[in-house]
A and B are shown apart, each in its own frame.
Chain A
Amino acid sequence: MMIRTPTRRDFLKTASAATLGALAAGAPRVLYGADTADKPKASADTVILLWMGGGMAHTETLDPKRYTPFTKGMKASDVVSTFPTIDTAVDHIKLTQHLEKIGSVMDRATLIRSHVVGDLGFILHSRHQYHWHTGYEPPLSVAAPHLGAWLSHALGPRDPAVPAFIDIGQPYEGNGEAEELKAFQTAGVLGTEFGPFRIPEPTQAIEAVRPPAGMSRQRFRARYEAYRKMIEASPIAREGSDYQRQSLLRSLDNAYKLLDSPAASAFDLSLEPKESYEKYNTGRFGLGCLLARRLTEAGARYIEVSSEYIPFKWWDTHDNGHTRLESLKQMIDAPIAQLVRDLEERGLLDRTLIVLASEFSRSVLVEGKQDNPVPGQVAQPDTINELKFFGMHRHFTGAGSVLMFGGGVKKGHLYGRTADESPCTTIENPVTITDLHASIYQAMGVSPQYAIEIERRPFYVTKDGRGKPVDALFG
């Protein structure tokens, strides 16, 4: 696929309507970080966030510990991992069973094992996810923008024909926490221009960028042509120009360009060769990774692929942790490895930062933090007699693993360490959400102090502008 570098002219065409209008309408202006001198040198142009919504247990996935196979009558406190350890392409990095393919590309990875997320008391998934995606803990007096919205705001689209912020794989329908999820999947105070372009179902992505169902391309074009003519013919159109009118016309023009552009074919998974399609096809998440690869090639700025958060489903393993983790790992293993290889083969990995993360980890016994237990946690017997109690069923915030590839991160690098005994908490080089975000922003050439003015006060891309990039991650 062709990758076109947008010209300045293209860019102005795309963005000026919005920005012009935003100014006139009193939308937030940039306070800090726009100055060239303050911009870090970018090592990446695109971010792909692989989101393991629901709480991925570190000791069951990327941070192997002593393996204790299931036996009736085993003590819960003895269980630190329910999977055997496996070797990877890097001698000193081990993973757990069922992540063999990711293991084979660990020589391109930086693995953080000391991600410590906020301790927000009772552990509500959507609230922690809000925190992770915006860097701010709700509730807030203003609506915080999503990581992708900030990048979209600070950097604009990479290609004007591809939305800057694309959100794949999280449907809302029928989800008991849908409103809570929507609350952070938004550009917030930055304005809807910077919000997510949502693709809940990757196989139907093409629907989002083609004429409405049942409308031929010819009719679609004729409709727009008639619209342009009608504007010309309208007696009102001649009454001088105005930013709102301009912005309406321009936004529609942009939409039509996108829907009718060759770049739109990137959304069409049916165009992917069958062999390659099948390499990714472990279900919605796997195909989301494939779509992310295609959109990276086409010029997206920020892509999030969610494994989908639904209370008690997917990574939200309150029971049968061991059994469920096996299939979850199989769901992510091949597509992630393939994504890394494909981007590398296309020469894009160096400028694409892949980040795999989750809102918190899990433990057999500890909920919250070791010294700060949470009331109302799920029942877990001290002695395990049934397989369904075998696994990591409680929410744990003291440690977590974040896997990164490309975009300037070191290769075959391990950062941070956790204890070997339950609850396997962080013991070395803790990385907070704020600092992880700062690292991502820095890699993208955005100052962690980038800020806009809202209600006459600064609002920063990392909490209070205090994010410190973890330099040790980058090489």
Chain B
Amino acid sequence: MRTRLPLFVLFLCFAVTVPVVRAADAPAAKVEFDTHVKPILQRSCARCHAGSQKKGKFSINTRESIMTGGSTGAGLVPGKSAESLLIELVMDDDPKTRMPAEGDALTKGQINTLRAWIDQGAQWPEGFDFGTSRKAPLEPRRPLLPDAPAGSGLTNPIDRLLAPYLTKQKAALGATVSDRVFARRVSLDLVGLLPSADRLDAFEKDTRPNKRELYIDELLGDRRAYADHWLTFWNDALHNAYRGTGFIDGGRKQITGWLYQSLYDNKPYDQFVYDLISSAPGAEGFTYGIKWRGVVNDSQRREMQAAQAISQVFLGTNLKCASCHDSFVNDWKLTDSYGLASVFADGVLEIHRCDKPTGKMAEVHFLYPELGAIDGAAPRDARVKQLATILTSEKNGRLARTIVNRLWAWCMGRGIIEPIDDLDQPPFDADLLDWLASDLQDHGYDLKHTLRLICTSRAYQAISVGAASPDVKQFVFRGPLIKRMTAEQFVDALGAVTGQWQRVSGEMEKPDGRAQGGQLAAVRATLARALEPAPAPGLEPNVAPVLGKWIWSHKEAARSDAGGRIFLRKIVKLDKRPTRATAVATCDNEFTLYVNGQKVASSDNWSSPEKVDITTHLREGVNVFAVEAINWPDAETGKGVQIKGSNPGGFVFGAIGFDGDEPAWSVISDETWVWRKGLVKSWNETNFDAQGWSHAAVIGGGNTGPWNLASALTLTSGDTQANSGASIDPVRAALVDRDPLMQALGRSNREQVVTRRESIATTLQALELTNGGTLDTILKAGASDWINRGASDADTLIRRIYASALGRSPTKQELDVARSLIGDKPTADGVQDLLWVLVMLPEFQLVL
């Protein structure tokens, strides 16, 4: 069977292998240099014969240099593969003389490709040179803003910049979209939510000429919705997971609290990056990376992960290749990667090439020395600050270019430069990119400013276009591309249509012993701070964090203890009752905490410390904290079983009291506590005489292993019970753990940096959407909600659901189909099926 197929179908066959595309000895199809030949040369020849490498005086940098050849003669004769030395050498039977000298011999298929390429004239893209990869300028550039074309009425700088580009490309933007399409698009792009039916109606009826700008301001002004939405983007980019690989050994740290606060505050981007690189409190996890138990390939040691992530995310360049060997996709050398990694190292790193030690030691060095130097002799803390300073300096135009390109890609579906992680690729319009980048700098790195600029442009508001051609080189900007909702956008859109938002579990409220989960507590803290009145001037906003010590009856308990029950007491005298007071405690294995004889907390899960409000239990004068603590196994109560090996035991406590907003006092577990074995009457009351009790032994500081719970045990001035009162309803998809539905729709596990989600619908996703439990449950509950809201008749119900899901009325035909589903008297099943049909529509799932 021989059919003429367009090129993309041929690709398809490559990708998934069906019958024959090109038989070995059949007349070869047209060979493309970029697609077929370049990868072979790059992989098998470039290491010794490209760039400055010219082994045997042979270089593959250009077509001419290959034709000229090296010490053994001309490399190739266009049109005549049989006479070309290149072919002869790769086909040589003798492994000693065969090329490539290192690595595997070429396969038959690869040789055939090279032969066909030569026979077809050895075509070479004009100007292509293996030896020079393009390097984008580093300095910021402020191109002049062109005047708007006469009579165009364009005012937005983006439109003025694009006008000459579009003229040159003989391209035009589509018409401006309707209010409804615009509102849906911009709301999904900026805050990730569908506008409600009422909001759409109001927006459409609004007659103010600047209503679109006002709507954009309204969206960007919703700090909560903005933070919820962009949390997804940054969790992906900064590989911040709520749970997952690495936490098991304390080998990973969340930055959720810092990140949410930063987004909520719209922290200037230079400061945002500075914090991340310099390990500001709460942001340490980003450069900490993931530490796996065991021996790790040197190219993935944590310092290298930091170097790779920083270069990819903030600078749009790839150090992954150059982490094992000198790169062949760009100019970075192994020493560049190690140089940057060394900034984060506690000692001197030995350079490893492909995981083999080279004996050479790395020196601290930054990729772009023209921005400034880092003092290799300075301590780590100073070095990371130096790096953060020079990377965020005004001279570094690349920082701003990289982020404005990402924001552009987010809104427009495709970057001004693609791939968005390789800023050395040519932009489709350099003036546009450079102007936006400088403008961001000029506006104090305010990302909302750039987003506002993009969304208010005529270009953004043009009718969207389908991503028809995969060919990057032929790309011409004609308006935003149609985007697919992310998993989080889709799930939140379901929430809006069905009223079923995300369910919260205890794990999401409270971090466990591995510091996993608890992301909602981090969010609440931000929201509570926002609700709190600002501290009065002159007050110290922070006291030293309160962190108890681990105590037990004897010093060895952190390592091993026989098990059993002890009773602990601590008396404190308070000048007055605090306005608020919070206590935190945990015990390996079980405890009950009493304040002045009242039970206030108990737990048998040491990994998850209990935090409680003790305000009402305290009084002026003498107060007693009393604890019944058990280390399993406890022969007396029969609790717990004998486990193998060592059997640590310990108790830890902290409390903080506030006078107004000011932290007034703290109490921690330490050697001043007293203990005894065996229960006695009234032992937990204030008037009990603890004569004869022994002083507790401190077995370690708050972060002592094996528990390592400092983060969950620390109380700060922001740690008031009022925090937990902050409502975060509705709970958005970005805040909860990844469920099967979101996983199917492309939410990653955040083990690696992700800067773009898959945009393609797959069969596995469709299966999850067709019979998966998560969606089914949401729709079922949503359907009964719709019925309970009591629409008078089927048509009204259908119209309301349409307005909610698609932001428009159904056409007559659509109404007919919907009626056939739900019947005259709507049933829960019928409504559920209608909801399913609507949320499956491309119109629903795509951002048009």
A127 touches B766 (CB 8 A): no
Which of chain B's residues have a CB closer than 8 A to the CB of A29?
Answer: 11, 14-15, 35
CA distance A163 to B17 in the complex (A): 16
Inter-subunit contact B814/A230 (CB<8 Å) = yes
Question: Closest residue to A187 on the B side, CB-wise?
Answer: B764
Do B104 and A465 have beta carbons less than 8 Å apart?
yes
Residue numbers in A under 8 Å from B645 (CB-CB)? 378-379
B474 CB–A CB distance under 8 Å: no
Beta-carbon contact of A242 and B466 below 8 Å? yes
Docked pose: A241 CA to B467 CA in angstroms = 10
Instruction: Check A236–B848 contact: CB distance below 8 A.
Output: yes
- Tell me the residues in window 741-770 of chain B with beta carbons closer than 8 Å to chain A beta carbons: 743-744, 746, 748-749, 751-752, 758-767, 769-770
The answer to whether the Cβ of B143 comes within 8 Å of any Cβ in the partner chain is: no
One digit per residue, 1 when the CB lies within 8 angstroms of any chain A CB and 0 when it does not, for chain B 556-577 equals 0000000000000000000000
On whether the beta carbons of B776 and A212 are closer than 8 Å, the reply is yes
Give B440-475 interface residues, CB cut-off 8 Å to A. 466-470, 472
User: A251 to chain B: which residues have CB within 8 Å?
Assistant: 761-763, 765-766
Interchain CA distance A34-B318 in the complex, whole Å: 27
Contact B769 A179 (CB under 8 A): no
- B contact residues around A123 at 8 Å (CB): 294
Given contacts A193-B764, A234-B814, A248-B845, contact A259 B771 (CB under 8 A): yes
Whether A258 pairs with B292 at a CB distance below 8 angstroms is: no
Q: How far is the CA of A85 from the CA of B412 in the complex (A)?
A: 68
**Judging by beta carbons under 8 Å apart, are A124 and B292 in contact?**
yes
Does A30 have its Cβ within 8 Å of any Cβ on chain B? yes
**B491 CB-CB contact with A under 8 Å:** no
Q: How far is the CB of B828 from chain A (nearest CB, A)?
A: 11
- Chain A nearest Cβ from B467, distance in angstroms: 5
CB pair A139 B467 closer than 8 Å: no
Given A34-B17, A141-B752, A223-B837 in contact, is the A25-B760 Cβ separation under 8 Å? yes
User: Is the C-beta of A191 less than 8 angstroms from some C-beta in chain B?
Assistant: yes
Q: Does A455 contact B (CB under 8 A)?
A: yes
**Nearest chain B CB to A162's CB is how many angstroms away?**
11
Q: How far is the CA of A79 from the CA of B842 in the complex (A)?
A: 65
Known: A21-B760, A193-B763. A38 touches B837 (CB 8 A): no
Pick the contact of A244 from B466, B472, B773 — CB < 8 Å? B466
Chain B residue nearest to A15 (CB atoms) is: B16
- Chain B residue numbers with a CB within 8 Å of A258 are 763, 767
| Chain-B contact segment, one of A68-76, A101-109, A150-158, A403-411 | A150-158
Q: Which of B20, B243, B644 has the most CB of A within 10 A?
A: B644
Cross-interface CB contact of A177 among B22, B248, B295, cutoff 8 Å: B248
| Chain A positions 252-274 with a Cβ under 8 Å from a chain B Cβ | 252, 254-256, 258-259
Partner of A34, one of B21, B323, B329, B748: B21
In the assembled complex, A192 has its CB within 8 A of some CB on chain B: yes
- Given A240-B466, A247-B760, A319-B644, the answer on whether A22 and B15 have CB atoms closer than 8 Å is yes
Cβ B245 vs Cβ A156 within 8 A:
no
Check B820 for interface membership: any CB of A closer than 8 A.
yes
> Which of B107, B308, B776 interacts with A141 by CB under 8 Å?
B308
CB pair B294 A124 closer than 8 Å: yes
Question: Is B208 close to A, CB under 8 A?
Answer: no
Q: Interface with B: A91-99, A114-122, A291-299, which one?
A: A114-122
Contact between B749 and A141, CB atoms less than 8 A apart:
no
**Complex Cα spacing A164 to B682, Å:** 68
Q: Chain A residues near B743 (CB, 8 Å)?
A: 182
Q: Contacts A36-B23, A139-B292, A183-B245 given: A236-B843 contact, CB under 8 Å?
A: yes
Q: B297 in the interface, Cβ–Cβ < 8 Å?
A: yes
Q: How many residues of B contact A (CB 8 A)?
A: 109
Whole-angstrom distance between the alpha carbons of A247 and B764 in the complex? 12
Q: State which residues 8-42 of A face B: CB under 8 Å.
A: 8, 11-12, 14-27, 29-32, 34-39
The reply to whether B467 and A243 form a contact with Cβ atoms under 8 Å apart is yes
- Of the candidates B8, B16, B299, the one whose C-beta lies within 8 Å of that of A156 is B16
**Contact partner of A163 among B24, B305, B763, B814, CB < 8 A?**
B763
A256 neighbours in B (Cβ, 8 Å):
770
A residues within 8 A CB of B746?
Answer: 192
Q: Is A219's beta carbon under 8 Å from chain B?
A: yes
**Is B236 among interface residues, defined by CB-CB distance under 8 A?**
no
**Nearest CB to that of A464 among chain B residues?**
B354
Q: Is A475 an interface residue (CB 8 A)?
A: no
**Residues 797-826 of B contacting A (Cβ, < 8 Å):** 811, 813-814, 816-818, 820-821
Query: B329–A456 contact, CB under 8 A?
Result: yes
| Complex Cα spacing A256 to B305, Å | 42
19 A-B pairs with CB atoms under 8 Å apart are A8-B1, A18-B763, A19-B12, A25-B760, A31-B39, A34-B15, A37-B107, A38-B108, A138-B245, A139-B292, A154-B16, A192-B758, A212-B772, A222-B833, A233-B813, A244-B760, A252-B840, A255-B767, A449-B107
Residue ranges of B at the interface with A (Cβ–Cβ < 8 Å): 1, 8-9, 11-24, 35, 39, 43, 104, 107-110, 112-113, 241, 243-245, 247-248, 289-290, 292-297, 299-300, 305, 308, 318, 320-321, 323, 328-329, 418-419, 421-422, 466-470, 472, 482, 484, 644-645, 743-744, 746, 748-749, 751-752, 758-767, 769-773, 776, 811, 813-814, 816-818, 820-821, 829, 833-834, 836-838, 840-843, 845-846, 848
In order of increasing CB-CB distance, the 4 nearest A-B pairs are A35-B109, A242-B466, A121-B295, A121-B294
